[in-house]
Chains A and B, each alone.
Chain A
């Protein structure tokens, strides 16, 4: 039902398909609902808590001791920008879940600063997600979620929680911050799941 916009031609054509409604950017916009938390590496900790209460935790050095991967991915923000061919460094969630026994199907992500987001556990596994601490060959900057953020490139980027500190595994889904504030529960860019009801 799109109406034609009289006089609009559009300029930023590109060779590769983008999800619907997205435009390309070379910059790296920052979208966060509050001040940027400053997290001290000496106090940094990342934990996975299962539905039975079993806890698996890593300090910064323990995380760094795990095998690193260097995902090369496209990222898509619900605010319409997409950034192609981004280079990250991090640890696969598959590595962190190696010794985690769970029957849970849902994950709620917790961040330093109070942010939360939710997604099905299967969207974190099988090579689909990382705890990322490097971007473009440099340590991840605080405004982009450093020292470490979740990276789930196949979903809108609000699911890739910045300043990540833990994952709670749940047998029932529980909405996170933006999911309670009008945004879609799942957030698939290719199905343009921006807002509740999309």
Chain B
């Protein structure tokens, strides 16, 4: 008999402003069983008149019992993300259930090199993987290619620099001063320069907006990577 994933009531323990438009919610969830890196949880919001809606959010934190973190990027005109990122406060309840998902995950027992490729807030589930690797002291080689519009929009930048993985940024609109290359989208040349080569048989996780993931996954397949070793998670064009 399969146990139903029950709805639980978490409490906002603290919040961290990550960028001007993204915020991490640290949630105390007494019955949280822990999770795998890359899994998500569902959030349910209910208005005083009974109107209710649900969304899925990738889990950002490494596993821990009784506590879980999500990072919410505000979606312009969204219904749920502005509430989570701007209204919800420390001490407020939040209804959630999870963890969910058994495919877009990294397990510490996996030993092949890991290539992470994130677009924008697609970094969130990949951050859970990088944090998990650090948490367990794994020596599995990890590289991250992180595409953001500008340095100010890079989530977790300070922590990423300390996690012991190779990080390359690709800035699509504005670069830091003295950056060696002009702003631009991820392309075949950049992928060839900074990612594990196909013959290293990396497991690759790509997460970001749909056009980003489509482009990157197509480029990887064209470059000879095994499609079965490329795991993707797409989001947008709408959402909350």
Contacts and interface: CB of A to CB of B under 8 A. Distances in A.
A114 interface: yes
Nearest to A113: B227
Query: Which of B42, B54, B94 has the largest number of chain A CB atoms within 10 A?
Result: B54
Interface string B201-218: 000000000100010011
B47 A33 contact: no
17 contacts: A3-B95, A5-B47, A6-B92, A11-B79, A12-B53, A20-B52, A23-B80, A29-B237, A30-B210, A32-B232, A33-B232, A34-B228, A35-B232, A36-B214, A177-B103, A178-B103, A194-B42
A87 B239 CA distance: 22
A78 B220 CA distance: 28
A51 interface: no
Given A4-B46, A8-B45, A35 B56 contact: no
A29 B100 contact: no
B79 A4 contact: no
Q: How large is the interface on A (under 10, 10 to 19, 20 to 34, 35 or more residues)?
A: 35 or more
Interface string A169-182: 00000000110111
Majority secondary structure of chain B interface residues (helix, strand, loop or mixed): mixed
B181 interface: no
A13 interface: yes
Contacts of A102: none
Given A5-B94, A21-B52, A181-B102, A35 B7 contact: no
B154 to A, nearest CB: 25
B136 interface: no
B197 interface: no
Contacts of A79: 56
Interface in B1-20: 2-5, 7, 9
Interface residues of B, number: 51
Interface in A1-54: 1-13, 20-23, 25-37
A29 B235 contact: yes
Contacts of B238: 25-27, 29, 81
Contacts of B240: 23
A9 B232 contact: no
A198 interface: yes
Given A182-B100, A182-B102, A7 B230 contact: no
Given A36-B218, A114-B228, A198 B95 contact: no
B208 to A, nearest CB: 12
Contacts of B2: 196-197
Q: Which of A10, A13, A23, A143 neighbours the largest number of chain B CB atoms within 10 Å of its CB? A: A10
Interface of B: 2-5, 7, 9, 42, 44-48, 51-56, 79-80, 83, 87-88, 92-95, 100-104, 210, 214, 217-218, 220-221, 227-228, 230-240
B165 to A, nearest CB: 23
A94 B156 CA distance: 53
Contacts of B236: 27, 29
Contacts of B103: 33, 177-178, 181
Contact of A195 (B9, B53, B100, B233): B100
Contact of B46 (A8, A23, A37, A194): A8
B95 A5 contact: yes
Contact of A35 (B54, B55, B218, B235): B218
A19 to B, nearest CB: 11
A10 B45 contact: yes
Nearest to B77: A11
